[in-house]
Amino acid sequence: MPKRTRKNRQHITGTGFKNLQNHLGYLEPLKAEQVEQIHQNSMKILRDAGIKVLSPPLRQHLKSLGCLVDGENFIVRTDADFIMEHIAKAPKQFTLTPRQTRHRLHIGGNHINFGMVSGPPNASDRKRGRRPSTYQDFQDLMRLAQSLNAIHFLGNQAVATTDLPVHTRHLDCMFSALTLTDKITACMSVGRERVEDAVNMVALARGVTLDELAQTPGAMTNINVNSPRVLDAEMSDGALAMAELGQMVIVTPFTLLGAMAPVSLPAALTQQNAEALFTLATIQSWRAGAPVVYGGFTSNVDMRSGAPAFGTPENTLANLAGGQLCRYYGLPYRSSGCSASNAVDAQAAYETQMSLWGALYGGANLVYHAAGWMEGGLVASYEKTMLDGDMLDGFAKMLSAIDFAPDEFALDAISEVEAGGHFFGHPHTLERYKTAFFTPMLSDWQNFENWQASGSLDAYTRAEKCWQETLENFTPPPMEQAIMESLQSYIAKRIEEIGDRPL
Query: Which residues in the 330-369 window bind its own copies by CB under 8 A?
Result: 340-354, 357, 361
Q: Using CB under 8 A, which of the segments 10-18, 86-94, 95-103, 456-464 binds its own copies?
A: 456-464
Angstrom distances, CA of residue 315 to CA of 25, 297, 354: 20, 8, 8
DSSP 476: P
Rounded to the nearest whole angstrom, what is the least distance from the CB of residue 264 to its own copies in the complex? Answer: 4
Helix (H, G, I), strand (E, B) or coil at 96: strand
Q: CB of residue 402 vs its own copies: minimum separation in angstroms?
A: 5
Q: How far is the CB of 242 from its own copies (least distance, A)?
A: 24
* Subset of residues 251 to 270 that bind its own copies, contact rule: CB under 8 A: 257-267, 270
**Smallest distance from the beta carbon of 353 to its own copies, in angstroms?**
4
| Nearer of residues 213 and 338 to its own copies, judged by Cβ | 338
Which residues neighbour 196 within 8 Å (Cβ) at sequence distance 6 or greater?
241, 245
Q: What SS3 class is residue 23?
A: coil
User: Alpha-carbon distance 50 to 46, whole Å?
Assistant: 4
Taking the complex as a whole, the smallest distance from the CB of residue 330 to its own copies amounts, in Å, to 22
Q: Which helix (H) or strand (E) holds 173?
A: helix 169-180
Of residues 195 through 254, those in contact with its own copies by CB under 8 A are 226, 228-230
For the chain, percent helix, then strand, then coil, each to nearest 5? 45, 15, 40
Site for its own copies contains 408 (CB under 8 A):
yes
Choose between 94 and 333: whose C-beta lies nearer to its own copies. 333
From 41, 162, 468, 473, residue interacting with its own copies (rule: CB under 8 A): 41
Dihedral (CA of 463, 464, 465, 466) sign: positive
Q: What does residue 224 show for φ and ψ, rounded to 5 degrees?
A: -100, 150
Q: Residue 456: CB partners within 8 Å, gap ≥ 6?
A: none
Q: Which stretch binds its own copies (CB under 8 A): 87-95, 167-175, 190-198, 312-320?
A: 312-320
CB of 308 to its own copies, least distance (A): 8
Q: Give the one residue of 23, 63, 92, 493 binding its own copies; rule: CB under 8 A.
A: 23
Least separation in angstroms between residue 246's CB and its own copies is 31
Pick between residue 43 and residue 250 the one whose CB is nearest to its own copies.
43
Residue closer to its own copies, measured from CB, 22 or 473: 22
Among 12, 30, 90, 188, indicate the residue that binds its own copies (CB under 8 A).
Answer: 30
Residues 114-153: x where in contact with its own copies by CB under 8 A, - otherwise, as a string? ----------------x-----------------------
- The neighbouring-strand residues paired with 129 are 125
Contact 195, 213 (CB under 8 A): no
Task: Lay out the site mask for its own copies across 71-100 (x = CB under 8 A, - = otherwise).
Answer: --x-x-------------------------
CB of 233 to its own copies, least distance (A): 13
CA dihedral 341, 345, 349, 354 (to 10 degrees): -50
Stretch that binds its own copies, among 239-247, 283-291, 400-408, 468-476 (CB under 8 A): 400-408
Q: Within positions 409 to 448, which residues make up the interface with its own copies, using CB under 8 A?
A: 409-411, 413-415, 417, 419-424, 426, 428-429, 432-434, 436-438, 440, 442-448
Strands 111-116 and 20-21: antiparallel
Looking at 51, 195, 202, 223, which residue binds its own copies (CB under 8 A)?
A: 51
User: CB of 250 within 8 A of CB of 209?
Assistant: no
Count Cα neighbours of 298 within 13 Å in the Cβ-side half-sphere. Answer: 33
Q: Cα separation of 315 and 296, whole Å?
A: 10
Least CB distance from residue 70 to its own copies, whole Å? Answer: 11
Least separation in angstroms between CB 11 and its own copies: 14
Are 233 and 55 in contact by the 8 Å Cβ rule? The answer is yes
Smallest distance from the beta carbon of 249 to its own copies, in angstroms? 21
Residue number with CB closer to its own copies (216 or 468): 468
Q: Which stretch binds its own copies (CB under 8 A): 146-154, 194-202, 374-382, 464-472?
A: 374-382
Type of residue numbered 483? I
Nearest distance, CB of residue 287 and its own copies, angstroms: 25
User: Which of these segments, 196-204, 244-252, 316-324, 326-334, binds its own copies (CB under 8 A)?
Assistant: 316-324
Q: Are 69 and 301 in contact (CB under 8 A)?
A: no
Contact flag: residue 397 with its own copies (CB under 8 A): yes
Q: Which residues of 355-394 are buried (b: 16+ CB within 10 A; e: fewer)?
A: bbbbbbbbbbbbbbbbbbbbbbbbbbbbbbbbbbbbbbbe
Q: Containing H/E element for 51? A: strand 51-53
How many residues bind its own copies (CB under 8 A)? The answer is 122
